Structure 1
Amino acid sequence: MASGNMTRQPSPPRVFVDVDVQRDFCDETGALYVKGSPNALFRRLTEHAVARGIPIVGSVDSHAWDAWEFGSNDMPAPEGGKPGFPDHCVKGTPGWLKVEGTLPPRFRFIPNVPHAPIDTAVRELATGQTHGVYFEKEVYSLFANSVAEGFLRELSAALGGAPEFVVYGVATDYCVRAAALGLVQRGYRTTLLTDAVAGITEAGVAAALGEMQAAGVALTTASAVLG
């Protein structure tokens, strides 16, 4: 059962999608800091979701020390095009952790392994027993985690169908873009909070926003949602 002091969200339901709000991306000392990361807004959105009974579905970049995309090793890329990123979001390190204040009181992480069990996590999130579920991934898209697609399908059904997925996080022109496009391409009603994202380059952000809008992603602001 949901917590007795929780204000349940109105119908149709919303689901918040927290994309890669981790220290290596969002803190100025992080290995791949995204300039202008709106951490205060990320915290407010988490607080709002917990208070209103809005489920949070998130992604976390989650690497081993020898991840193929790191420039510090010779591990070949699976399809070529090794990006040579600095080591970042290595699981268990401080940079892998979520930004302070953006992890709700009750949460689960879903590992990036085939056939990870999801039934209990879906039920708990849909009923408010947990506040957030975070999918570990190694590349840009939330859907790179092999069980994410089935989880969202089951969660949508458990919430009564057709929830609005509200996306925020970093970086606009990479993982945020991938999450929003992945959602709308799978038929989900998807909204992006334009003031609760940050990107790598101005040109990249402009192109990503245009692509998302053309695909059917709605744009609004965190203040409109929080209000």
Structure 2
Amino acid sequence: MQINTKQDHTAVIVVDIQQDFTQAMQGSLAVEGADQEYLDRAETETRRLKALGYPIYATQDWHPADHISFFSNHDNANPYDLIEIEGRQQVLWPPHCVQESPGARILIDESLFTAIVKKGMDPAFDSYSGFFDDGKKDTGLADILKKAGIKKLIVYGLATDYCVKATAMDAKMLGFDVTLIKDLCRGVAPETTAAALEEMKTAGVDIC
């Protein structure tokens, strides 16, 4: 799908296109297919949408070094272990997107963004969604969008089955119309990506 005209009250959210999530930059949590070709396409499309007049927003994982999601902060744990913490399930990831580290850097030209919303800053909670962390703490993104009169969102980025899905699903829950550009997303695993796309579609996300 290519969007060729400006749609009123519509904004773009670019989810977590950061160094640590890309194969192109040998990131610590590189997503399959997030290579240089993908980055070039995402950059080109973001510039094109900006030129059409869309406000562009970005989300950015911004973890403290002692974040609960890092396997290295748990005894006898391995990357991708699934544990339970206070009644919620937590995937243990390799350390990634640590605050002020090169791995946290957004790889799209930051001058394109109206605002960058950081997430995952509370060491006790993961934050896949750009709107809320797992403790339901608000990132402020919804208020930014609503104050700008935004009612519809175009979403793409990394990774389809985690942060993109959570952001799109929360956007729908908050009352936004949501379009996901599938070709500008990459997922962690084929099975969970397929399930995420189906879940989003069922929730009313328009997948293009």
Q: Normalising by the residue count of structure 1, what TM-score does the alignment of the two structures yield?
A: 0.73
Select which of 163, 169, 183 maps to 1:195: 183
Cα pair 1:68 1:77 within 8 Å, conserved: no
Moved over 3 A (4+): 74-82
Cα pair 1:70 1:84 within 8 Å, conserved: yes
Specify the alignment match of 2:8 in structure 1: 12
Structure 2: distance between partners of 1:10 and 1:167: 15
Q: Deviations over 1:37-66 (max 9, x none)?
A: 221221012211332221112211111111
Specify the alignment match of 1:68 in structure 2: 68
Structure 1: distance between partners of 2:104 and 2:7: 35
Structure 2: distance between partners of 1:192 and 1:80: 27
Specify the alignment match of 1:123 in structure 2: none
Tell me the CA shift for residue 11 of structure 1. 4.3
Specify the alignment match of 1:25 in structure 2: 21
Q: Does 1:137 align with 2:125?
A: no
CA 1:206–1:81 in structure 2 vs 1: closer, same or farther (change >3 Å)? Answer: closer
Q: Does 1:186 align with 2:174?
A: yes
CA 1:78–1:148 in structure 2 vs 1: closer, same or farther (change >3 Å)? Answer: farther
Root mean square deviation, CA, Å: 2.1
Aligned residue pair count = 181
**Any idea what SS the aligned residue of 1:143 has?**
coil
Select which of 20, 31, 35 maps to 2:32: 35
Tell me the CA shift for residue 12 of structure 1. 1.9
**Any idea what SS the aligned residue of 1:88 has?**
coil
Cα pair 1:170 1:198 within 8 Å, conserved: yes
Structure 1, unmatched stretches of 5+, are 1-8, 107-130, 221-227
Select which of 140, 151, 155 maps to 1:147: 140
Structure 1: distance between partners of 2:144 and 2:53: 18
Structure 2: distance between partners of 1:10 and 1:172: 25
Amino acid at match of 1:66: D
Q: Deviations over 1:95-128 (max 9, x none)?
A: 10011xx12426xxxxxxxxxxxxxxxxxxxxxx
Q: Deviations over 1:200-219 (max 9, x none)?
A: 11111111111111111111
Structure 1: distance between partners of 2:171 and 2:42: 20
Specify the alignment match of 2:100 in structure 1: 92
